[in-house]
Amino acid sequence: MAAPELLSEHACFGGVQRFYQHASNEIGLPMRFSVYLPPQALHAKVASVVYLAGLTCTEETFMMKAGAQRVAAQLGLALITPDTSPRGAGVVGETESWDFGVGAGFYLDATVAPWSKHYRMESYITAELLPLLAQALPLDGQRIGIFGHSMGGHGALTLALRHPGLFQSVSALAPICAPTQCPWGHKALRGYLGADPSVWAQHDASALMCQRSSAPFPGGILIDQGLADKFLAEQLHPELFEAACAQAGQPLTLRRHEGYDHGYYFVASFVADHLAHHARALS
């Protein structure tokens, strides 16, 4: 497994913010990602939290907008942010919509041509990127959490549920909780996976949780949702995930916040709580 190429690095709260590129076997194209290493990583392997960004974002968005590094440095957590899709796949139509194609990989492996050749974000993250980083950086491969925002919140919840044991903690900010029941999800799941709704359900956090007979994360899941979020009613459906958790006996803290919208001012307002949630689980 070839070492990733360091594109830039920046001293940050006693640690270092880095941006990388590497040749991905799973994607079949160069992929970029970012890593924040806290000062504790100078002396020992540290726990890490994967952050999955939302529609139109890149590997830079969270690191530049969320203000997470100060808290990560205090808690001794590394932060990992992959890009949101392949870049340069050359698929016809991949740049025509902001909610499908480039910047909108939905953290799954496409099964429908022509998307299936390169749009393999689930396998990229779980089978390639995390092992690569555990090999290349001072990260403890047994202590990994995952969280995300919007499309990335969908990704965090579904990857955590689909890969038992890989992630020890999970949380989300304004996640797409039931993509089988919203326009964003219908567009993405049909486009990447075909027309069979039973296949779609395998990438729907609410449907996946409904299949559980016990709590996959007994330490709890944290979700924050702004009530002034213009996407809440039509696209996000946290109440469906809330009901699924109740059915499965999964502890869930779902916090609803008056006045907060869908953007990074919302993310920045609550990111410290999410990092603390992961630090408790990963300590």
List beta partners, residue 140: none
Tokens 């609410």 -> residue: 206
Active site residue 24: no
List Cβ neighbours of 72 (8 Å cut-off, separation of 6 or more).
13, 15, 36, 38, 49, 78, 79, 275
Closest CA to 251 of 201, 212, 194, 196: 212
* Measured CA angle at 164 (ends 162, 167), to 5 deg: 100
Which of the residues 22, 262, 277, 278 is marked catalytic? 262
Query: Are 144 and 130 a contacting pair, CB within 8 Å?
Result: yes
Which of the residues 150, 169, 171, 206 is marked catalytic? 150
Which of the residues 48, 154, 229, 237 is marked catalytic? 229
Active site residue 273: no
Report in angstroms the alpha-carbon separations of 146 from 7, 164, 227.
24, 12, 23
Alpha carbon 246 to its chain centroid, in Å, reads 23
Active site residue 150: yes
Closest CA to 78 of 280, 220, 278, 222: 278
Tell me how crowded residue 14 is: count the other CB atoms within 10 A of its CB. Answer: 13
Q: Which residues are catalytic, by number? A: 150, 229, 262
